[in-house]
Chains A and B, each alone.
Chain A
Amino acid sequence: MLHFSRLKMIAILLACLVSILFALPNLFTKEQLASWPRFLPTKQMPLGLDLQGGAHLLLAMDTGELKREWLQTLRDDARRTLRDAKIFPTGVGIVNNHVQVRLAKAEEADAAVRELRKLVQPLGSAMLGTSGEDITITKGGDGTILLEPSAQGLQQRVIHAAGAAIETVNRRINALGTAESTVVRQGADRILVQYPGLTDTKVLKDLLGQTAKLSFHEVHPTMTAEEVRQGRIPTGYRIYQASERGDEQGAAYLLRETPVVPGENLVDAQPGFDQRTNEPIISFRFDQAGARRFGRFTQENVGRPFAIVLDDKVLSAPVIREPILGGSGQISGSFTVEGANTLAVQLRSGALPVKLTIAEERTVGPSLGADSIAAGKLASIVGGVISMIMVVIAYGTFGVFAVIGLIMNGTMVIALMSAAGTTLTLPGIAGLVLTVGMAVDSNVIIYERIREELRAGKSAVSAIDAGFTRAITTILDSQLTTLAAAIIMFWLGSGPIRGFAVTLTIGIFTSIFTAVTVTRLLIALWLRSERAKPGRIAVPI
């Protein structure tokens, strides 16, 4: 137990040296590190948002809305498909969670199902061995057909929407500045945004708070929304409410549901000011296809109004004075300067596929973060120093060896976290301090064992040897059980629990290493130097 080959010794020393090198950058500022030679590691432990200050937003996608939208498209598609096939149902509508088609003639059911099957899309891939369809079609009695979105179909849509939403969120956040923000998916329908350094989340929330689906619609040529309210809405038209931010609050418009130009054709949007009224406006530009379509529409409809619709609310419905052929225009809607800026960013970065709500928000101001770092540092130093003094008092020279091991332990945890880029959080600091406390335990177990063996009358060498041999199983057992708890914390825990679990786990491994190798090596070296001296070896413990 106490013999170390030269190779092993060098390996241990090397491990310590490398750890010190990797831990070292944490003592310097970023500016100082910039001037370091290239071959030295300069990575610091990344600080969690609770330490450096910043915002953490967990956004949830409205999957219900996603499903509603899907059902609407499905209804429209079913209606069109049947019409194309010259089958005329008496009604196509959304009932609960499916689209219900009621046929005029029950004998057309088979033909109708055949046509509707064209809407079904296969899911999954043959390669992955998954299969299925996104819609199930069932024939009810008396000429009804039910189209029902399947669970997997919805799941796939959620995944697609999440991917698209992440891209949009990223683009919108990047417009805020160049901070190192991260946007990642969490679970199936959640998006986690982390934005270091940001404390006032209002701007961020405004930016992400609306889907910003902009489209341009034709207004019904003859009928108004009021006239239609009592009677039947003409096919293809829908009543839209005026936006709260527009000029005509409370008004309603009868618009064609399919837009003349959808928002996807928008390529640029910039905030600006109206030259006459000096009111904030947004000028936009269409791509070629959009410009052509808009040009043709305005040519044919001079003197009639069209509607600019944002998120299903009418922003304004100006009258077309002359054909707009250049593919650009401007939107006004009693914006504030700030509002115009936000909307321009939203329009530029594209619409969100679905509305996002804030499921969780955690923000830490920079002053609190700095306070936490200072408090954590002080607590670690005080706790560390006191426990080390105790160990030295209790075990003398051997205590000093243990303290060297403990310092090495702390260094290694910091080195590993820096090298692996593991974030240090406030609970993480607690984990670090606690690791030091528990690492003392390994040494205590070994030394108490050595004392016992000495009392039993063994010689110094065999007592030390037995102390290490016997104590190791105990140390392993006790540390591995703690490890089990730490792994479960990491696996099931969230946020603060995870940060704590990570440092604890790393600390368990390093404390086993330092107690059974670093400290043991020091004792072996000590023994060697004692043996060179004449007389019986006395263990200073």
Chain B
Amino acid sequence: MRFFPKFNGYDFFPHGTRIDFMRWRDICFWGSIVSIIVSIALFLTMGLNYGVDFKGGTMLEVQTKSGTPADIQTMRNQLGGLGLGDVQIQEFGTTNDVLIRLEAQPGGEEAQQAAMKKVLDTLGDGFVQRRVEVVGPAVSAELRRSGVLAVTAAILAIMAYVWFRFEWQFAVGTLLSLAHDVLVVVGVFSFFQLDFDLGIVAALLTILGYSVNDTVVVSDRIRENLRKYKRMELRDLLNLSINETLSRTILTGVTTIVVLIALFVFGGSVMRYFTFAMLLGVLVGTYSSIFIAAPVLEYLGVKRETVTGEKAAAGARS
């Protein structure tokens, strides 16, 4: 009977590592606090380069019918003279593809439509419309509100779940690391003034999911070890737990990053910022599980009694 081909896997990672993660605890912890503050400062001073979704206005993607490169300078001159305020024109993906953005026009919903019509009339017949997005002031305000609400609600829901499954100290650690991840990504988008639209909010929410996933895996091991090694110093125990889960953290992280790079490279220009945010988030999320969520436990001090109390039942099972 030989149904299955048999070959061994290659164990990439050294096991039984004893890396002293907690040694960098203070540097990383305060470094994270500083990066949170810097991100908030960036957000407050530079703001975000909101897309049409949140700011309102019009976005048009057009392509030359002939397939020849579009003459952006001419387009800029033509459209700039229409009196529609700030008109952004940029190449998108290929040289014959152009993205045109109009700011929200004063005068409500109808003014946006009128402005778009003007642009299309001016461009004439040489172009094919690839994509049109017009968002009126009422809808963009709602999208802004629901975006903020969604991210906040997700963080709180995740925190509640962690609180329910673990100790409150774990929930605080999770909250801090999640807030860190979201804020740092927002900070980077603010610093480079990258397009921030609905897709990025989806990316932020997924980053939350990924980051908490990572945090939970480490926390799970910490909880298990707390029951297993009752006399071990908390600091050593945290180190041990992180080391034990390190191979998983790296392998999963690398796989996810590889998939995201595939999306980034092959997924088309529409998805590019989304995947970029995700890539950034996976890196930050992995970091925060190790260097924020775990050290917080040491700062706050996990009560072993409660954890050990539960142990009787869990121990009997395994």
- The residue among B3, B109, B143, B201 with the most chain A CB atoms within 10 A of its own CB is B109
User: Which stretch, A95-103, A153-161, A345-353, A427-435, touches the partner chain B?
Assistant: A427-435
**Alpha-carbon distance between A452 and B206 when the two chains are bound, in angstroms:** 30
Residue of B nearest to A482 (CB): B209
Is B150's CB under 8 angstroms from A364's CB?
Answer: no
Q: Is B110 close to A, CB under 8 A?
A: yes
Q: Is B295 close to A, CB under 8 A?
A: no
Binary CB contact string for chain B from 152 to 187 against chain A (1 if under 8 A, 0 otherwise): 011001100110010000000000000000000000
Q: Is B217 close to A, CB under 8 A?
A: yes
Q: Is A398 close to B, CB under 8 A?
A: yes
Residue of A nearest to B56 (CB): A360
Contact of A394 among B12, B198, B270, B275 (CB under 8 A): B12
Q: Is A391 close to B, CB under 8 A?
A: yes
Distance in angstroms from B312 CB to nearest chain A CB is: 16
Binary CB contact string for chain B from 207 to 219 against chain A (1 if under 8 A, 0 otherwise): 0111011101100
Q: Is A306 close to B, CB under 8 A?
A: no
Is B146's CB under 8 angstroms from A494's CB?
Answer: yes
Is B9's CB under 8 angstroms from A444's CB?
Answer: no
User: Which stretch, A5-13, A23-31, A259-267, A465-473, touches the partner chain B?
Assistant: A465-473
Q: CB within 8 Å of B: which of A387-433?
A: 387, 390-400, 426-427, 429-430, 433
Binary CB contact string for chain A from 369 to 389 against chain B (1 if under 8 A, 0 otherwise): 001100110110011101100
By a CB distance below 8 angstroms, the chain A residues around B260 are 383, 434, 437
Kindly state the interface size class of chain A when it binds its partner: 35 or more
Q: Is A112 close to B, CB under 8 A?
A: no
**Alpha-carbon distance between A347 and B97 when the two chains are bound, in angstroms:** 40
Is A200's CB under 8 angstroms from B6's CB?
Answer: no
Distance in angstroms from B75 CB to nearest chain A CB is: 18
Q: Is B254 close to A, CB under 8 A?
A: yes
Is A358's CB under 8 angstroms from B270's CB?
Answer: no
Contact of B255 among A363, A440, A497 (CB under 8 A): A440
User: Which stretch, A68-76, A237-245, A317-325, A483-491, touches the partner chain B?
Assistant: A483-491
Is B213's CB under 8 angstroms from A481's CB?
Answer: yes
Kindly state the interface size class of chain B when it binds its partner: 35 or more
Is A360's CB under 8 angstroms from B136's CB?
Answer: yes
Is B270's CB under 8 angstroms from A426's CB?
Answer: yes
Interface of A: prevailing SS: helix
Distance in angstroms from A414 CB to nearest chain B CB is: 17
Is B274's CB under 8 angstroms from A430's CB?
Answer: yes
Distance in angstroms from B289 CB to nearest chain A CB is: 11
Distance in angstroms from A176 CB to nearest chain B CB is: 18
**Alpha-carbon distance between A157 and B214 when the two chains are bound, in angstroms:** 51
Q: Is B63 close to A, CB under 8 A?
A: yes
**Alpha-carbon distance between A488 and B220 when the two chains are bound, in angstroms:** 24
- The residue among B248, B260, B318 with the most chain A CB atoms within 10 A of its own CB is B248
Q: CB within 8 Å of A: which of B231-272?
A: 244-245, 247-248, 251-252, 254-256, 258-260, 262-263, 265-268, 270-271
Is A60's CB under 8 angstroms from B132's CB?
Answer: no
Distance in angstroms from B10 CB to nearest chain A CB is: 5
Q: Is A525 close to B, CB under 8 A?
A: yes
Is A497's CB under 8 angstroms from B202's CB?
Answer: yes
Contact of A368 among B3, B130, B146 (CB under 8 A): B130
Q: Is A148 close to B, CB under 8 A?
A: no
Distance in angstroms from B273 CB to nearest chain A CB is: 12
Is B198's CB under 8 angstroms from A497's CB?
Answer: yes
Is B268's CB under 8 angstroms from A360's CB?
Answer: no
- The residue among B4, B220, B278 with the most chain A CB atoms within 10 A of its own CB is B4
**Alpha-carbon distance between A347 and B281 when the two chains are bound, in angstroms:** 54
Q: Is B315 close to A, CB under 8 A?
A: no
Is B247's CB under 8 angstroms from A448's CB?
Answer: yes
Is B220's CB under 8 angstroms from A473's CB?
Answer: yes
Supposing A372-B270, A492-B146, A497-B201 touch, asked if A540 and B9 sit within 8 A by C-beta, the answer is yes
- The residue among B2, B5, B6 with the most chain A CB atoms within 10 A of its own CB is B6
Supposing A441-B213, A448-B248, A496-B199 touch, asked if A362 and B7 sit within 8 A by C-beta, the answer is no
Contact of B108 among A357, A378, A386 (CB under 8 A): A357
* 24 pairs, CB–CB < 8 Å, chain A vs chain B: A358-B109, A360-B136, A368-B130, A368-B131, A368-B270, A379-B266, A383-B263, A396-B10, A400-B4, A427-B199, A427-B274, A436-B259, A437-B255, A437-B258, A441-B248, A452-B244, A466-B318, A481-B161, A485-B206, A489-B154, A492-B149, A495-B198, A529-B2, A541-B9
B contact set with A: CB distance below 8 Å: 1-12, 15-16, 61, 63, 108-110, 112-113, 128-136, 138-139, 143, 146, 149-150, 153-154, 157-158, 161-162, 165, 198-199, 201-202, 205-206, 208-210, 212-214, 216-217, 220-221, 224, 244-245, 247-248, 251-252, 254-256, 258-260, 262-263, 265-268, 270-271, 274-275, 278, 318
Given A383-B260, A397-B4, 6 further pairs, Cβ under 8 A: A358-B112, A361-B113, A397-B7, A437-B258, A441-B248, A497-B198
